[in-house]
């Protein structure tokens, strides 16, 4: 008898956490075509996700970085603290070069972009349930290169200097949100967001807010 509530069995029961209903529906339909994968619960934010983990007892959680009222990285950290045996796969539209390593540090077991083929999503789920880590070949090579002596101080590596919260603010700036909107989304004061903006400019060696907006838009607009 298996007493571990999160242990994988022949049937992989998945919790999908995404703030877009069409994504949740798409994954449900995708996994319904597989004999051993089934969506057992859905959530659109961190609070719902934690409730579903308690009630549905999934074998795996698939989580987006951007959620309705919360941040996916923060949710992954909470899951790591409370449900250490529950593996997490990040499925996100956001560039893996900026978020994959952060997701792994937060406690995820894999990262895959939404533009990947559906077969890759299935492969990621199966690989993680085998106790392995899933990354695209391109991202794996980038992470290995970053650890080598040949890592350069490119724009990409400079962005790695940002904290998770700073990167979240940077991303929302690039998506066209103003300071007030970002403050409301993150549930903090406008002054706090202004402080984040100042630290981002300092870390990225930017001299003005217009430079910050330009760089942010070049990375995140249209994503």
Closest to 60 in 3D by CA, of 94, 34, 99: 34
Find out whether 167 and 159 touch, Cβ atoms under 8 Å.
yes
Give me the residue label for tokens 């090579």.
Answer: 141
Hey, is 222 helix, strand or coil? coil
Residue 155 has pLDDT above 80, yes or no: no
Q: What is the pTM of this model?
A: 0.76
DSSP secondary structure string for all residues of 155-183: HHHHHTTS-HHHHHHHHHHHTT--HHHHH
Give residue-wise pLDDT tens across range 49-81: 999 999 999 999 999 998 888 889 999 999 999
Quick one: tokens of 191? 């002054």
Find out whether 110 and 128 touch, Cβ atoms under 8 Å.
yes
Q: Domains (ranges, CATH) in the chain?
A: 12-143 (3.40.50.2300), 155-220 (1.10.10.10)
CA–CA dist 161, 132 (Å, integer): 27
Chain CA centroid to CA 13, Å: 20
Find out whether 86 and 79 touch, Cβ atoms under 8 Å.
yes
The reported pLDDT for the residue numbered 4 is 45
Residue 145 pLDDT grade (very low, low, confident, very high; cuts 50, 70, 90): low
Residue 18 has pLDDT above 80, yes or no: yes
Give residue-wise pLDDT tens across range 88-133: 999 998 888 888 989 999 999 999 998 887 889 999 999 999 999 9
């Amino acid at each position: 008898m298996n007493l571990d509530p999160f242990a994988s069995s022949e049937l992989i029961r998945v919790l999908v956490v995404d703030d877009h209903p069409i994504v949740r529906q798409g994954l449900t339909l995708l996994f319904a075509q597989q004999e051993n994968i089934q969506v057992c619960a859905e959530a659109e934010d961190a609070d719902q996700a934690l409730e579903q983990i308690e009630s549905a007892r999934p074998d795996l959680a698939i989580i987006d970085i951007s959620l309705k009222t919360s941040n996916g990285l923060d949710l992954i950290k909470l899951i790591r603290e409370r449900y250490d045996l529950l593996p997490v796969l990040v499925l996100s539209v956001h560039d893996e070069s900026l978020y994959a390593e952060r997701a792994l540090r937060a406690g995820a077991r894999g990262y895959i972009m939404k533009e990947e083929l559906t077969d890759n999503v299935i492969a990621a789920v199966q690989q993680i349930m085998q106790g392995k880590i899933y990354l695209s070949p391109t991202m794996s090579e980038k992470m290995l290169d970053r650890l080598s002596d040949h890592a350069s101080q490119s724009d990409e590596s400079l962005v790695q200097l940002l904290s998770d919260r700073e990167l979240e603010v940077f991303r929302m700036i690039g998506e066209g949100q103003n300071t007030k909107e970002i403050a409301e989304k993150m549930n903090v004061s406008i002054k706090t967001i202004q402080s984040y903006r100042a630290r981002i400019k300092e870390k990225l060696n930017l001299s003005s807010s217009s430079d910050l907006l330009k760089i942010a838009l070049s990375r995140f607009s249209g994503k």
